[in-house]
Structure 1
């Protein structure tokens, strides 16, 4: 069923030509690679935060082939601080698929793009419209906010019926001409004027027909996600130091919490070396609280000073000694682990280090 709506593209494009953002670093080259990297980075993250990360990422991985060839730890290292690290792992996987199965060229259809890890309907639409000039709709957070207010769509967008309604509106507002500019324009409007809080409705090119503004409910839309009390989980982590002051780290499994990142071993981990499990901690540090989207984690750090031969832990799988004095090697570290390591006193007895870090939320 086709909805009867007044198109917003003409007013939005006129506004974009005068007031839109035209000098973002990923706009310097209209390529699927630039658009893809920027769209993934912009998920859950503001433009001003993304800009320096994008510039450093592109400098290190200038094209999809370079990204595919890089070690995943190097990719995680350049994702430091952006959080939601599954995004970086999916980028790496998708780059390898594009290089291996498409000879380094991005697929140019919605269906093929959506088959790639980490690319959903909206990201695929952005790549098609912005980089390839094809008509395709998007529905990221900014677009949802604009459409929900303009049409006074009530209900949380995570509900299937609301999501379906917003996608139908997004599809119908997407014009046949200047599709890429329109995509950038509606994202810009949501980011600069139709903000989550304190929207600048007086400057909005759509204010004449905005239903939420007419009804005085712009502060109520989009309908927020229903809040729920998050459970609390606890874990004890072992800070194992050798005679040189280095800290023992183990790489976590590829899936689950901090998948593929380097972390302090868990005290109750069955793989914890016997020489540690039989020792008493030298010190128990204050509980560190860390929150995820679906639960709160309370971490109890316990410090161990290794007295037995170091090979008792080096026999453990996927481990390394981390020099907190001179962290140089690019490895992926979980954010709370990085915080704990930064708080430890330096007691290094060797002149140089050989490991470094990134973090994950």
Structure 2
């Protein structure tokens, strides 16, 4: 077997999501909860215009999901607590030696390091549930990892973050060599690029400790899209400079130096909780399209669409308001997971 995680730009069979349910993440007030439901539903209804979508729904939320979701969206009932599908769902892979075979890496999920506030035990089982529902071969892993903590080019390169996979709350005894060996075994990554850190907000109590999918992504082999905070008043101004310098010295699995394309953060610096980590990097590539994060900043949102159209030529870019997602800890990429076509 030679498992390989395809690039997100490769053709998809479908996208997977999980529908919200009441709990800490959704919010306490009725208004907060409605905002959460609406954001997830709007994202799903945008995606299904491009490709099929299956929504995992807790039995308690099936009626609401059917009311809010487009009729062509498939529903898979399963018990949930969290609903960030990218992070607890399976990472789909293919086997180039066995055409037509789909694999699903079932990482260990512990709620981003088992913080006191997280409820994750039910959703930790969803990877296997989803894999079995599509007949994928399950590739079990003992590595605590989330889908938002990796990005690949489909040709052997994987982006990782030292503060995620090496986080002692996740993998107490891990080192780079062990993580890289597991990445090679499970997703076919022969070359790891270790970012030193993520964005500032992501290190708060409710953050992921540095997920790469709000920082950088590989748009095509040798080309990297990097989040850029351009306001010196934001602490990520220095983080952006550090990461920009970091990537000048990095190469991919083929030995190519990265061509770095920057995408500026919105102008908003703070919300009620502090400095934001709003990022256009946290988009989802779909068949013939891109689902982009929007932040109700017409000029910045428009410029982001233009850049995404440039780095993903031939795809239609559609913007969805991502502010309710980021208020809960993530964005469009965080709540979705692509299943490649085999």
TM-score normalized with structure 2 length: 0.24
Q: Which structure has more helix as a fraction of its residues?
A: 1
Q: Which has the higher strand share?
A: 2
Looking at both structures, which has the greater relative contact order when contacts are Cα pairs under 8 Å and sequence separation is at least 6?
2
TM, length-normalised to structure 1: 0.23
